[in-house]
Chains A and B, each alone.
Chain A
Amino acid sequence: MKRPHLNQALVVAALPILAGSGLAWADCEATAGARRVEGRDVVLAFKTRPAKIKVGELFAVDVTVCPKKGTVKGVAVDASMPEHKHGMNYKPTVKKNATEGFTATGMMFHMPGRWQFAFEVDSTAGRERLLDTVAVD
Chain B
Amino acid sequence: MAGVAADDSAFSSAEKQAIARHGPWPQPVLRDPSNRGSGNADAIALGRALFFDARLSVKGDMACATCHQPARGLADGRDRAQGRERLDRNTPGLWNVGLAHWFGWDGAADSLWSFALRPILNSLELGATPAHVAKVLGGDPAYACLRRNAFGKAAATKASDDQMMVDAAKALAAFMETLNSGKSPFDELHDVLARGDAAAVAQYPADARRGLRIFAGRGNCAVCHFGPNFSNGEFHEIGIPYLLGAGRVDAGRQGGIKAVRADKFNLLGAFSDDASRASGSRTRHVTENHANFGQFKVPSLRNVELTAPYMHNGKLATLRDVVHHYSELSEDRLHQDGEALLKPLRLTDAEADDLVAFLRTLTSRQFPAVAPPLKPTCEPRK
Chain A residues at the B interface, C-beta cutoff of 8 Å = 55-56, 58, 83-93, 105-106, 108, 110-113, 137
Contact = CB atoms under 8 A, between A and B. Distances in A.
Interface string B222-235: 11101100001111
Given A55-B226, A56-B226, A89 B284 contact: no
B381 to A, nearest CB: 36
Contact of A86 (B223, B281, B284, B338): B338
Which of the four size classes fits the interface of chain B?
A: 20 to 34
Nearest to B342: A84
B339 A89 contact: no
Interface stretch (B59-67, B81-89, B285-293): B285-293
B333 interface: no
A113 B361 CA distance: 26
Interface in B302-361: 336-341
B264 interface: no
Contact of B286 (A83, A86, A89): A89
A88 B286 CA distance: 9
Contact of B282 (A58, A83, A92): A58
A55 B232 contact: yes
Q: Which of A87, A92, A108, A113 has the most CB of B within 10 A?
A: A108
B285 A92 contact: yes
B341 A56 contact: no
Contacts of A88: 287
B285 A111 contact: no
B21 interface: yes
B233 A84 contact: no
Contacts, number: 60
Contact of A90 (B21, B287, B337): B287
Nearest to B224: A111
Interface string B217-247: 0000011101100001111000000000000
Contacts of B284: 106
A137 B216 CA distance: 13
A111 B282 contact: no
A85 B281 contact: no
Contact of B233 (A83, A106, A110): A110
A106 B280 CA distance: 11
B234 A89 contact: yes
A58 B281 contact: yes
Instruction: List the 3 shortest-distance A-B pairs measured between CB atoms, nearest first.
Output: A106-B285, A86-B338, A91-B287
Contacts of B232: 55-56, 110-111
17 contacts: A56-B226, A58-B285, A83-B340, A83-B341, A89-B287, A90-B285, A90-B286, A91-B286, A92-B285, A93-B285, A105-B281, A106-B281, A111-B224, A111-B226, A112-B223, A112-B226, A137-B21
Interface string B33-77: 000000000000000000000000000000000000000000000
Nearest to A137: B21
A57 to B, nearest CB: 9
Nearest to B101: A56
Interface in B151-195: none
A84 B285 contact: no
A113 B285 contact: no
A58 B341 CA distance: 23
Contacts of A106: 281, 284-285
Contacts of A110: 232-234
Given A91-B285, A105-B281, 8 more contacts: A56-B101, A56-B232, A86-B336, A106-B285, A108-B282, A111-B224, A111-B226, A111-B232
Contacts of A87: 289
Given A55-B227, A111-B224, A85 B338 contact: yes
